[in-house]
Amino acid sequence: MVSVATMRMSEQTAADTQVQPDAAAGAARSLNSPETTARIGSGVPVKASVENFSFYYGDFKALKSISMPVHEKRVTALIGPSGCGKSTLLRTFNRMHDLYPGNRYEGTIRLHPDNTNLLDPAVDPIEVRMRIGMVFQKPNPFPKSIYENVAYGLRIRGERNRSAIDDQVREALRGAALWSEVEHRLHDPATALSGGQQQRLCIARCLATQPEVLLFDEPTSALDPIATASIEELIHELRDKVTILIVTHNMQQAARVSDYTAYMYLGELMEFGETNQIFVNPTRKETEDYITGRFG
Amino acid sequence: MQETNSGGAAALVPHGPLSVSDRLAKKALRHFKERLIELLLLGAAFVSVLTTVGIIWVLVSESVNFFGTVSIWSFLTDTMWTPLFAEPRYGILPLLAGTLTTSAVALIVAIPLGTTIAIYLSEFARPTVRELVKPFLELLGGIPTIVYGYFALMVVIPMLQLLMPELSGFNMLGAGIVMGIAIIPYVSSLAEDAMRAVPMSMREGSYAMGATRLQTAFRVVFPAALSGILSAYILGISRAVGETMIVAVAAGMQPNFTVNPLEPAQTISAYIVQVALGDLPHGSIGYQSIFAAGLSLMLMTLALNLVGHVVRRRYREAY
């Protein structure tokens, strides 16, 4: 129940960011230059595959038989109007729905190469979350120091070696482009950082444990444009190391950062394809209407 | 909001039923009513202020009389409290030792148990279990302390005597344990409130890292709620220090300068009860000593409240 409420809220706040259709299409075009498109190609390995996945909040069927691939070391954006279920789908990947009673999964999400079905009741959600990190809409650093925030994942995995933790914390903060800003105050409280820094800290927190997939749930909707730009840049850098799924309300952002885009509407996957194709030449009328701002 | 709307609408309709002066009169009436209600609310708020000031005034003025006879120095340093003796001595230390010892025993019981209950209810219990357990805790908090006192005397101390046969029939250990049980609800309910106020997003952040419920509760929720939890402890300490009936019934009535919980002793509050029962003539110096004792007790709780205030500010997390 709480999750639904937070999701609704998040979608409302982000709904204010209206889309400029031409700009979005333009951004897509510039990003997806011929080389980029060639690099994406169709031979990209699949990291996770969603097969006939449905999701229920109690009796309400929030997601209806969704099937789509998530390509390895690429950025996949989930877009769609409020209430379309994109956050619900994202949160399924690390079994966040298990935290609340009355939620039910149907179908499978397989994580490759080992073909584990993430939704199998026999699979421990903690094991899933150890492999798949998540960055939330609102930065949620823990009430600890900057250092301890990043070390958190290592500590709960039982890492005791101080120098190993030191190294990984440093690496993670570098990976999240935060190191130079915090290296002299690692032991200050994390809450003293600015919003954008906090969000990068949350990314560093995930990176420290080297997840296979990173989930971003509208990571910039609570940030100002400059902080947003730095997060987008970071996502762009991270795509070489980790598979990324991002929910966004900002169509320009989807066009800027993603390689693949899934357009969802009322719990259904309307269209999935390379971002370039979805933004420039969508096959479905509904997708085009949404992307060009005629609807949504 | 409504006011400006109706005002605006009236202004747009020039031939409305009310003239300008009528409308102004209405406004003046409304203004008067608002002021009246505000004053009533202020008065209600001042009842507590006036009561506190009144109590302080009584305590201080009576204590001044007392300290006219007994010097503050001997009050604070004398190790005997013997107001009923022919040669009375008024050293607060024995009573203070009794108060602190019983309180310490109570806190050793109440803080771990109260915290555990709070963590369980806030982080682990299913809603149905929580709804079942909370009324019982509230009931525990609603039991009159005199009942607890006899529970200590009739049940807990005899049980302790099974373990320690030489234990006296009145002792600070039994009284303290029961006092601890009595303040568990205060500690647990405030601590639970503090933990439940930690936003769900913070727990989700921890779970998303692969943390278990136990790890999330102890490494994230507990530190995030620390300021509220410490306030709960300080409230618990205040209750323990001021608690009267349990210690009056079960800890014994002889001032005894010791911190050994196995011995009987009198606390400040229990002494005040004893005098109130009429052992000392009204108006005598012995009678006035209860005000000095009461003032000491109040200063202790005041100090605790101040500490609580500082702690809340120091450990408050912005989330």
pLDDT for residue A28: 40
Q: Cβ B211–A133 below 8 Å, yes or no? A: no
Which among A136, A152, A206 has the least Cβ separation from residue B201?
A136
Q: Is the ipTM of this complex over 0.95?
A: no
Residue given tokens 């390995």 in the structure block = A45
Q: What is the DSSP letter of B152?
A: I
Task: For residue range B47-97, list pLDDT tens digits in order.
Answer: 999 999 999 999 999 899 899 888 888 899 888 888 878 788 889 999 999
Whether the bond into A101 is cis, omega within 30 of 0: no
List beta partners, residue A132.
A213
- State whether residue B18 is helix, strand or coil: coil
Average pLDDT over residues B251-261: 88
Chain B hits for A141, Cβ within 8 Å: 205
Is the predicted pLDDT of residue A293 greater than 50, yes or no?
Answer: yes
Q: Pick from A3, A134, A152, A205 the residue to mutate for testing the B interface (most B CBs within 10 Å).
A: A152
**Residue A180 confidence (pLDDT) above 60:** yes
Q: Which of B201, B208, B223 sits opposite A138 (nearest CB)?
A: B201
Indicate whether A85 pLDDT > 70. yes
Above pLDDT 70, what percent of chain B?
93
Instruction: Say if CB A274 and CB A259 are below 8 A apart.
Output: yes
pLDDT of amino acid B16: 60
Q: Domain map of chain A by residue range?
A: 2-38+72-92+124-261+273-291
Inter-residue contact A28 to A276 (CB < 8 Å) = yes
Contacts of A143 in chain B (CB under 8 A): 202, 220, 223-224, 226, 317, 319
Rounded average pLDDT over A34-38: 36
SS3 label, residue A274: strand
Mean pLDDT value across residues B253-279: 87
pLDDT at B15: 57
User: Which residues from chain A sit within 8 angstroms of residue B319, using beta carbons?
Assistant: 143, 191
- C-alpha A30/C-alpha A37 separation (Å) is 11
The beta strand positions in A58-119, using DSSP E, are 60-71, 75-79, 103-111, 116-117
Contact state of B208 with A156 under an 8 Å Cβ cutoff: no
Q: Are the Cβ atoms of B210 and A206 closer than 8 angstroms?
A: no
| Closest CB from B207, B226, B317 relative to A129 | B207
If phi > 0 it is left, if psi is from -120 to 50 it is alpha, else beta; for residue B252 that is left
> What are the residue boundaries of the structural domains of chain B, listed by start?
19-69, 93-315
Task: Give the residue-averaged pLDDT of A21-39.
Answer: 39
Give the residue among A69, A78, A83 at the shortest CA–CA distance from A250: A78
Q: Kindly tell me if the per-residue pLDDT of B104 is higher than 90.
A: yes
Quote the mean pLDDT of chain A. Answer: 84
A288 pLDDT above the threshold of 60? yes
Q: Would the CB atoms of B210 and A2 count as touching at under 8 Å? A: no
Confidence band, pLDDT 50/70/90 cuts, at residue A3: very low
Write the residue in B206, B208, B226 that is nearest to A94 by C-beta.
B208
Q: For A139-176, how does the pLDDT look when each residue is reduced to its tens digit (9 = 90+)? A: 999 999 999 999 999 999 998 999 999 999 999 999 99
A43 pLDDT band (50/70/90 cuts)?
confident
What is the CATH T-level fold of the domain A2-38+72-92+124-261+273-291, as seen in this structure?
Rossmann fold (3.40.50)
pLDDT band with cut points at 50, 70 and 90 for residue A245: very high
Determine which helix (DSSP H) or strand (DSSP E) holds A166, and give its type and residue range: helix A162-175
Range in B9-18, B100-109, B203-212 with the lowest mean pLDDT:
B9-18
- Give the rounded percent of residues in chain A with a pLDDT score beyond 70: 85
What pLDDT digit, counting tens, does each position of B154-167 carry?
Answer: 999 999 999 998 88
Best residue in B130, B209, B220, B314 for a mutation probing chain A (most A CBs within 10 Å): B209
The strand pair at A213-217 and A132-135 is best described as: parallel
Tell me the average pLDDT across B154-182. Answer: 93
Distance CA B210, CA B208 (A): 5
Is B210 within 8 Å of A142 when comparing Cβ atoms? Answer: no
- The sign of the CA dihedral A207, A46, A237, A6 is negative
Q: Is the pLDDT of residue A55 over 60?
A: yes
Domain B93-315 = CATH 2.160.10.10: no
Q: pLDDT at position B276, please?
A: 80
Nearest-CA neighbor of B243 among B282, B286, B191, B186?
A: B186
Region A14-22: what's the mean pLDDT? 40
Q: What confidence tens digit (pLDDT) does each residue in B139-155 have?
A: 988 999 999 999 999 99
Which residues are paired to A272 by β-bridges? A262
Q: For the ranges A64-78, B13-27, B293-307, which has the lowest average pLDDT? A: B13-27
B215 chain-A contacts, CB cut-off 8 A: 156
With beta carbons less than 8 A apart as the criterion, state whether A247 and A264 touch: no
- The yes-or-no verdict on residue A22 having pLDDT over 60 is no
Determine how many CB atoms are found less than 10 A away from the CB of residue B251: 34
- Closest-CA distance, B319 to chain A, in angstroms, reads 8
- Sequential DSSP letters for A19-56: --HHHHHHHHHHHS-HHHHHHH-S-PPEEEEEEEEEEE
The residue that leads in pLDDT, B1 or A92, is A92
B215 shares contact with chain A (CB less than 8 Å): yes
**Residues of A with Cβ-Cβ distance to B224 under 8 angstroms:** 142-143
Q: Which chain A residues contact residue B201 at CB under 8 A?
A: 6, 136, 138, 140
Alpha helices in chain B (DSSP H): 2-12, 20-69, 72-77, 93-119, 127-142, 145-151, 157-163, 172-196, 200-208, 213-215, 222-224, 226-242, 245-250, 268-274, 285-315
C-alpha–C-alpha distance, residues A25 and A2, integer Å: 35
Q: Above 50 in pLDDT, residue A15?
A: no
Q: What is the pLDDT of residue A107?
A: 93
